[in-house]
Structure 1
Amino acid sequence: MTLIKKEGPSQMDVVTATASVSDQDSTKDVSPATKDSHTSPADPTEAGLRLYDHGGMVLVPTPTSDPKDPLNLAVWHKCMIIFLVGSYSAFSVLGTSGLSAVYPSLIQAYPNESPARISDLLTYPTLFMGIGNLFSMPLCVTVGRRPVFLFSLLMLIVTGFWCAFSDSLGSHVAGRSFFSMAAGQSEALAPYIVEEVHFLHERSTKLSWFIGVQTVGTAAMFVATTYIVPSMGIKWWYLIITFVNVALLLLSYLFVVETKYERVEATDGAIVHLNFAEADDSRDSESGAVRNGLRLRPDIHGPRTWQHDLRLFHFKPVWSETFTFYKDTFKSLAIPSILWLLLLNGAFLGIYVYQASTFAQVLMSPPYLFKFAYLGWVQLVQILDCVLLVPVLGYGTDLLAKVMCRWRKGVFQPEYRLISMSIPGIAAVIGCVIYGQAAAHPTQWSWMGVVAPYHLGYFAFLGANLVSITYAIDSFPRKAGPVLLVICAGRGFISFGLSYSTVPLISKTGYDGAMNIFAIISGVLAGIAVPMYFLGTRFRLWAMQRLWPKLNQ
């Protein structure tokens, strides 16, 4: 595979490789591209990657002929990774937030403790999930994704037993805090792994499937929680979660391979053209296995073996990278688009936290008078969010990006993703207004006025999360870890602060007043997507020139 590196006036390297399918074998013959095969990023308004070239799909990042390249994993293996990290995330979220569905059982379990003290079991997990990200994300850059992910599962198992056999509220709170630190990797590391085994043009779709697995698993177990805890006790609820995590650890040890990989053909942030007819080529030929249109070369790079996949550490740790990671994280806060995504995700998560903390009280009060067991089935409706999320924001965002690329003569810009932010933005505003009115005036609204907006708010958070993560990684692929830490950990701290303001805000403004405030905030933040669409390219180029100039050398 031949790569032609073109020097240009911009701060970004341009790497061009045009491939064609040979009828004789399954390899790709590569020839230099023409001069006009790329858009020069000298003008920052036109900076971008060419996703279509001469009628073919451009693969970004550039795949290699190395069998150990995570992009060259078989389709079934990639699906297995999505399922395992999604399942891990589902039970992590369940363990940290599932007790909110059985709060009366917690009151009964600790009759001598004040409700404010018992509520620490529900509020502290959000804080410690953010703290967990602060430790895990730098480590995943230093030692690799696989050991951090497996250790997180092991920590979930240990702390799960701790919580199950805790003999005091203080011990229970401490155990849940450490459990939540291990669960924090479901927010940043898990989607990071999913993104690393897929190409740019399919990231949104695959990430939506990951979120779908997580949401369906969590919703189903929320229903089970309302039956398990009252009949079997909190101890067995933790034990069931822990036994599932044991199974996930064993399967993940076998199938969740290391996804950190250093490519030599091209660097992230470069403009890469790889033109071929079949974008997702995976087959075997007489001359060897073919992945992504390229014949794998184990004779040059070495084969992918079970011994290689099962190895825990694949890299010699360079601990100075940890300091660099934290420094890059603080630098990311100076990028307007990343800071905006942090505030947007924090606000949307705050809406979900607010509604999740109050919907049970509203539905169990007159005139609705829901039975306690019904609340779990209300949570099950979250599966409908996945039914909307996967096709509308998963496939839809990727499809929209491809349509915009064709319209812009094949050039891809991450800002195309931001067009999809309008859907969760509208959903958040509508959900806030209706929920506030139904909760404040229940006699004038059906119970669906509470349930439907609640799930509309959850859909808004999932959608904003999906678009934000995909946009952030597309914008800064070589600094994806720091920007994900800013968004995922930062929103956890924001939601933790909001969780303590829920009761005072309701008592001061009422449900409708509080939700109207959230609607205004979410509407303004979602509306900022419009200027970000036009200015995002300039912010990206500014960041590469001022914050990380060495990446352009």
Structure 2
Amino acid sequence: MDEKAFVDATQVENGPSAHQAIKIDGEVVLVSDSTVQRIPVASADPNDPLNFSKWRKMGIMITTCWFSIFSLLSLAGLGSFFNTLFHLYGADHTPDQIVGLSTYPTMLMAVGCLVLLPIAMVIGRRPVFIISVLVCLICYITAGTSQTFSQHFISRIFIGIATGAVESLLPLIIADVTFLDERGFYFGIYWSTQNCVSSGILIGLPYLIADAGWRWFYWLFVITMAISFIFAFFLLPETKFARLPITLSGKTIHTDEFGHTMVLDNEEALQRFGHIDADEHTPEPKRTYLQELKPWSKITPNAFKVWCGAYIKIGKAFTSPAVIWALLLSSISLGIGIAVSFVYSVVLEVSYKWSPGSVGLFNVGIIPASFLAMAYSGWFGDKMNLWLAKRNGGVHRPEHQLVNLIFPCLAGVVGLVAIALPANSPEQYSAWGMLIGWAIFQFSFTSIIITTTTFAAEVIPENPGAAIVCVVGGKNLVSFGASQGIIPMVSKYSYLTAFMILLGILIGICLLGIPVYFLNRKWRKATAKEIQT
């Protein structure tokens, strides 16, 4: 990679030096003389995922979005026919056990995250993703043919583990092929498409189940997951890429296996890596399309060390106050959403006399809400980050992402109140209150997921992949308490009291974001000093 190529890639010829471009504490000179820099630095290798064509990246986005939509929908969609499941299994199982068909697999997505991502660091993203698709496909078949509650439950447990790829591996794949200044936009497409398409299908699912029976819930996903396998095999190349340290003009540029880019003095690089490679790297020949179809990749050198190191880095990520806070915020948002999905069909059928087939219309507002969330947290969020960077002398701080969460947090509060009141007092309020409140809350939830994912990808500069696992994957484990607790709370209290308890927790976590905004920068500075020493 010659010097001109590097200057063109980073676009800092009239701005700060390369060493100033990326600080070890995570602050980035994102804007220099009104020019947005492309970080991380793409290599001259034609196989570098950052150098993929737009068409290749579009295929990757289609593949990741397709799997995420239908795997997550197979977990969340059970709420659309809980009454059927109560009639089917109610004689031998408690309501909590039946609800567990949805909550336990969702919780075990966190286990999938912890298992799948470190393996993907060693053997590659592509083979792990293909295996996840095949596991889901097989388990949809076994769930659809199950004859007992236990068979149904075990099938869904493995579906939950395999779906863990959605919230660890797939965001990492997207990070592999995108630059920092555009990542929020791509994450916005990823998360918003999930909600938008899922809501449309949720509208029709009750009609399908009412007409053809509950087993067709799984036959639908058998078909869509077979298509997902075709997409994964033909459209998703391996995105794991070993970026060798590059020496240029007295500096060393290095991006590690987690996607973190550092620009160091050569002396610092010698201490860190033990060697510095030459300026000129001979890139491998461009892989042909047929070569990219190979379902396995080269095992990472020092595989066991990388595998163990991934878990060590995940543990260290939990020392960040920002990671813990982002995890709590995304968890309570998800938990409330799951809790609402448990009760809405019962409320609409019993209190508002809706037919079982029509309860899916409750989700119609998610479609515009998802588009709004994508526009707000994707396009507008990136613009806000650039504006805040310009106000900060061109320097982007990870905490700038938290400013984008103010409006979604307020929307979440309004939406939950709008749901709780009609659910508790149907004689006083219209069902439209629940529908509008659900749309508002889904805007809040989707915006929070987009922003906390983007935030996690940069809040710990030396461990972005580990932070993504903690925030995006861990939320399924933490949200289990909120979602699993709604049934006993409703039984003991009322819909209003149960949802107000969740509202109080939501408000408390949102307010904790204020001290995190100011304190996390001190944590980053302290961590950077430890790394440098």
Does the pair score TM above 0.5?
Answer: yes
Encode CA deviations 1:358-380: one digit per residue, 9 max, x unaligned: 222222233x2222222112223
Q: CA deviation at 1:215?
A: 1.7
Give SS of 1:267's match.
strand
2:299 corresponds to which of 316, 334, 353: 316
Q: Distance in 2 between matches of 1:306 and 1:270?
A: 28
What percentage of aligned pairs have identical amino acids? 24
Distance 1:441 1:271 in 2: 57
Gaps of 5+ in 1: 5-15, 21-27, 274-296
Determine which of 298, 303, 310 is the counterpart of 1:325.
Answer: 310
Instruction: Pick the aligned partner of 2:254 from 250, 267, 285.
Output: 267
- 1:140 maps to which residue? 120
For 2:356, the equivalent position in structure 1 comes to: 372
Offset of residue 32 of structure 1: 9.0
Return closer, same or farther for 1:300/1:121 CA change in 2, 3 Å cut-off. closer
**Could you tell me which of 422, 427, 433 is aligned with 2:417?**
433
How far, CA to CA, are the matches of 1:432 and 1:506 in structure 2? 15
Distance 1:476 1:533 in 2: 14
Confirm whether residue 248 of structure 1 aligns to residue 228 of structure 2: yes
Inter-CA distance 74–272: structure 2 relative to 1 (3 Å threshold): farther
Instruction: Provide the C-alpha distance between the structure 2 equivalents of 1:298 and 1:307, rounded to a whole number of angstroms.
Output: 25
AA of the residue aligned to 1:203: R
Aligned to 1:53: 32
- Residues 1:156 and 1:166: Cα distance change in structure 2 (over 3 Å): same
**TM-score after normalising by structure 1:** 0.85
Shift of 1:181: 1.1
Which of 388, 399, 418 matches 2:383?
Answer: 399
- Shift of the alpha carbon at 1:33? 6.2
Letter in 2 for 1:216: C
Q: Cα 1:424–1:31, aligned 2, differ >3 Å: closer, same or farther?
A: closer
Match of 1:232 among 212, 215, 237: 212
C-alpha contact (below 8 Å) 1:425/1:526 kept by paired residues:
yes
State the one-letter code of the partner of 1:155.
Answer: V
Alpha-carbon shift at residue 221 of structure 1 (Å): 2.0
Moved more, 100-109 or 69-78: 100-109
Q: Identify if the C-alpha distance between structure 1 residues 361 and 493 changes in structure 2 by more than 3 Å, giving closer, same or farther.
A: same
In the other structure, the counterpart of 1:70 is 49
Distance 1:167 1:129 in 2: 25
- 1:514 matched residue in structure 2: 498
Q: How many residues align?
A: 504
Greater displacement, 502-511 / 162-171: 502-511
Alpha-carbon distance, 1:135 to partner: 1.1
Gaps of 5+ in 2: 247-252, 265-279
Partner of 2:66: 87
TM alignment of 1:179-194, pairs within 5 A:
179-194=159-174
How many angstroms apart in 2 are the aligned matches of 1:83 and 1:115? 40
Shift of 1:469: 1.0
Structure 1 segment 484-499 matched on structure 2, within 5 A: 484-499=468-483
Letter in 1 for 2:441: G
Closer, same or farther: CA 458–29 of 1 in aligned 2, 3 Å: closer
User: Does residue 19 of structure 1 match 2:12?
Assistant: no
Q: Partner amino acid for 1:457?
A: F
Instruction: Confirm whether residue 468 of structure 1 aligns to residue 447 of structure 2.
Output: no
Instruction: Please state whether the residue corresponding to 1:314 is helix, strand or coil.
Output: coil
Q: How many Å separate the matches in 2 of 1:98 and 1:327?
A: 35
8 Å contact from structure 1 (residues 48, 271) kept in 2: no
Aligned residue number for residue 355 of structure 1: 340
What's the CA shift for 1:319? 2.3
CA offset digits 1:146-165 (Å, max 9, x no partner) = 11111100111111111111
CA RMSD of aligned residues (A): 2.8
Say yes or no: does 1:408 pair with 2:397: no
- Aligned residue identity for 1:305: T
Paired with 2:480 and 2:11, the residues of 1 have a C-alpha distance of 54
Separation in structure 1 between the aligned mates of residue 350 and residue 84 of structure 2, nearest angstrom: 18
Q: How far apart are 1:336 and its partner, in Å?
A: 0.9
The amino acid across from 1:19 in the alignment is: D
- Structure 1 residues 208 and 442, CA, compared in 2 at 3 Å: closer, same or farther? same
C-alpha distance in structure 2 between counterparts of 1:521 and 1:53, whole Å:
41
Quote the offset at 1:383 in angstroms: 0.9
Match of 2:78 among 83, 99, 103: 99
2:487 equivalent among 477, 487, 503 = 503
- State yes or no: 1:448 paired with 2:427: no
Q: CA deviation at 1:341?
A: 1.1
Aligned residue type for 1:218? S
- Distance across 1 between alignment mates of 2:140 and 2:455: 34
Give the Cα–Cα distance (whole angstroms) in 2 for the partners of residues 509 and 29 of structure 1. 60
Alignment of 1:146-225 (within 5 A): 146-225=126-205
When residues 85 and 335 of structure 1 are mapped into structure 2, their CA distance, relative to the original with a 3 A threshold, is same
1:34 Cα deviation from its structure 2 partner? 6.0
Equivalent runs, 1:287-306 vs 2, <5 Å: 300-306=283-289
Aligned counterpart, 1:337: 322
TM-score (ref. length: structure 2): 0.88
CA contact (8 A) 2:363 2:435 kept: no
Helix, strand or coil for the counterpart of 1:85? helix
- Specify whether residues 37 and 139 from structure 1 end up closer, same or farther in structure 2 by C-alpha distance, changes over 3 A only: closer
- Measured against aligned partners, the alpha-carbon deviations of 1:462-511 in whole angstroms (never above 9, x if no partner) come to 21111111011122354222212212332111222223311222233422
* Offset from partner CA, 1:269-307 (integer Å, 9 cap, x none): 55669xxxxxxxxxxxxxxxxxxxxxxx99743213214
Distance in 1, matches of 2:90 and 2:488, equals 24
Matched, 1:421 2:410: no
- 1:256–1:40 distance in 2 versus 1, CA, 3 Å: closer
Distance 1:157 1:114 in 2: 27
What is the rounded CA distance, in whole Å, between the counterparts of 2:186 and 2:198 in structure 1? 19
Greater mean deviation of Cα atoms: 91-100 or 437-446: 437-446
Counterpart residue type for residue 328 of structure 1: K
Q: In structure 1, what residue type is equivalent to 2:359?
A: L
Q: Deviations over 1:434-486 (max 9, x none)?
A: 32222222222221221222232222222111111101112235422221221
- Larger mean CA deviation between 391-400 and 438-447 belongs to 438-447
What amino acid is the match of 1:339?
I
Secondary structure of the equivalent of 1:315?
A: coil
- Matched residues in 2 for 1:140 and 1:112: separation? 43
Contact 2:21 2:30 in 1 (8 A): no
Amino acid at match of 1:495: S
